[in-house]
Chains A and B, each alone.
Chain A
Amino acid sequence: MKELYNYRQMIFSLVKKDLRGRYKGSVLGFLWTFINPLLQLIVYTLVFTTILPVADIDKYYLHLFVALIPWIFFSSSLTGGSGSVIAHKDLIKKIYFPRAVIPISYVTSCFVNMLLCFIVVFAVVILFGNGINFVAFLYLAPIMLVEYILALGVALISSAVTVYFRDLEHILGIITMAWTYLTPIMYPIEQITENPAVPEWFKSLYMLNPMTPVVQAYRDILYHARVPELSTLLSAFLLGITCLLAGCIIFSKLQRRFAEEL
């Protein structure tokens, strides 16, 4: 831990490099950070209001938007994070530094991206939202932190395992897709919890998804303009910490042979 702190400058410069390099050479450059989620928003809104309408929701685009941006952060940490260690193999094979620096800086750069997108989210919420609850807004920072912890835990695992098992990178594509639908992003959570057609066992499994309480909390704060329930926050926090611990243990076990496997 202390060592990681000593290498904070490295994390910082990797994040900077990543953010700068991401859209290098494209005409719109950094604007893609905003355009990409907005386009996704348009597609999903079109699909789920006109083609396959889900439950009747007021301002569906907003309902979706406040969940979509955090989800993009999480899913890109998971899929992009898995290749991050391999992408830096030249560095790993030749020089020592705490290996966790790499997934940490990748997740952090995704996180910074999300924060930038939140500028747009705030603008939309202020202009078209269901009012602003300042007390609820105070909960935004802790929930972001919890999501960061969660994303980091997942990225630590996926980045380390991918080194030994390269298929994971491809498998993760389908896993994220499934995960997208198993999280209440495009539909309200009541669709599952209050739907008699959904069997009980599925409901309890569904609630184990660590992203469910996170997304739920975002939606409470930004869409419903209300303080999230304590139970939601607590379960999000506990699942996040568990995930991070598991990530740390797995990563520290697997990283010993990185230089040989790469």
Chain B
Amino acid sequence: MGQEDAIVIKNVGKKFKVFLDKGQSFKERMLFKNRCKYEERNVLKDISFTVKKGEAVGLVGHNGCGKSTLLKLMTRILYPDKGSIEMKGRVSSLIELGAGFHPDMSGRENIYTNASIFGLTKKEIDARLEDIIKFSELEAFIDNPVRTYSSGMYMRLAFSVAINVDADILLIDEILAVGDTNFQAKCFNRLKEIKKQGTTIVIVSHSLGQIEQICDHSIWIDGGLIREYGSPYDVHPMYLEYMGSHLNFGGSTSEKKSDNRWGSMAAEVSSVQMLDKDGNEQTSFVVGAPVKIRVTYELKENVPDAVFGIGIFRADGVHCYGTNTRIDKMPDFEITKSGYFEVDIEKLNLLPSEYILDVSIETGDGIPVDFYKNAKRFITYSPVSDIGVLRLDHKWETNC
């Protein structure tokens, strides 16, 4: 382990025995031996990487690829079957918030209990108490029992404790969805501050945008192996490309429509493309870049009154934008042959995050012809770190 390294992971593998029906007691194990059958699942096969001090790394991958298991190995909740994991310094994890909270004790007492689980002594907690309470914005309620808190307040308190532990290494699993948007932004900024102070951070997230804003490197895990390692801007487009190809056209035929698609299929969307200004297909865009969405459809039956639409959702579910040709006061279209429609977006002002594009063809009465959710995934990135949902075109002017 080098001087500069905070985390060194070498050839780590982890198998789980997945019991189909496990006997818990002696009798059950003796009598029903065949019930103890299990499958061995090789969740992590051979993972090696190093994280330098003060670096932030994001782990991405589809559900069940083993990234959360890897994080649990790093926190030492689980132990690897092979390989070694070395961590330097105090490790804190934002995996389970509010561990050990007792509903009948006051917020203040719970801060002590919860922080003690992170290995803080009373003295250390005393020193941080003010910061924790202030960060949680719960000054007025801090001496009330926690059971009187709303779930948002509960999470705020839990997050405040966890983030004020002052760890050398911070492990985060998909929890930046705490409280209202204000508090989320606050957490996120706090995370950036922590990083600036030199804390090493490892994040597991499905929100690629968050990883891009904080992390120096992104590790794409697939099937228990590292598939790509590099800058988020290099790794994420590859990842999205892969996800897209497995999500959209993964063996679906015209007879069997997946859950994310419905309608009469009189006109069926055959491809959805997002093109940059040179007409090349892309899955990642700089914020503010021009984008052309082209939807090609194949006609099975004539549609006399078609309405075309698009919708854009952020990966966390926020509906960012949606419109259709009728909203935009265009006459309904009569489709008599296969063709395409295009939406030209002059400036894609959506701030860095991961987005999902829905496209739709409907009849004039609003009956879906092909309503296609999750048709495409894309990310936006930006060298500017403004915050919010979208960038408003703006200029500054002062008289100083």
Contacts and interface: CB of A to CB of B under 8 A. Distances in A.
Interface of A: 3, 6-10, 12-13, 17, 21, 24, 90-97, 165-167, 256-257, 259-260
Contact of A94 (B24, B95, B102, B118): B95
A1 to B, nearest CB: 14
B91 interface: yes
18 contacts: A3-B119, A9-B115, A10-B116, A13-B112, A17-B105, A93-B77, A94-B95, A94-B99, A95-B75, A95-B77, A96-B76, A166-B25, A167-B27, A257-B79, A259-B77, A259-B78, A260-B16, A260-B17
Contacts of B119: 3, 6-7, 9-10, 97
A13 B116 contact: yes
B143 interface: no
Interface in B82-130: 91, 93, 95-96, 99-100, 102, 104-105, 112-113, 115-122, 125
B72 interface: yes
Interface residues of B, number: 32
Contacts, number: 67
A167 B112 contact: no
B26 interface: yes
Most buried by B among A3, A24, A93: A93
B26 A8 contact: no
Contacts of B95: 94-95
A8 B125 CA distance: 13
Contacts of A257: 79
A21 B105 CA distance: 11
Interface string B23-48: 01111000000000000000000000
Contacts of B102: 17, 21
B23 to A, nearest CB: 10
Nearest to A88: B100
Contacts of A165: 25-26
Contacts of B26: 165, 167
Contacts of A97: 117-119
A253 B100 CA distance: 25
Given A6-B121, A167-B25, A260-B16, A95 B113 contact: no
A9 B79 contact: no
Given A9-B116, A9-B120, A94 B96 contact: yes
Given A17-B113, A95-B99, A167-B25, A9 B122 contact: yes
Given A17-B113, A91-B100, A96-B77, 6 more contacts: A91-B99, A94-B95, A95-B93, A97-B118, A97-B119, A260-B78
Contacts of A96: 75-77, 91, 93
Contacts of A21: 102
A253 to B, nearest CB: 11
Nearest to B121: A9
A184 to B, nearest CB: 32
Contacts of B79: 256-257
A124 to B, nearest CB: 35
B77 A9 contact: no
B277 to A, nearest CB: 47
B196 to A, nearest CB: 25
Nearest to A7: B119
B117 A10 contact: yes
Nearest to B105: A17
B117 A95 contact: yes
A99 to B, nearest CB: 10
Contacts of A91: 99-100, 117
A93 B173 CA distance: 14
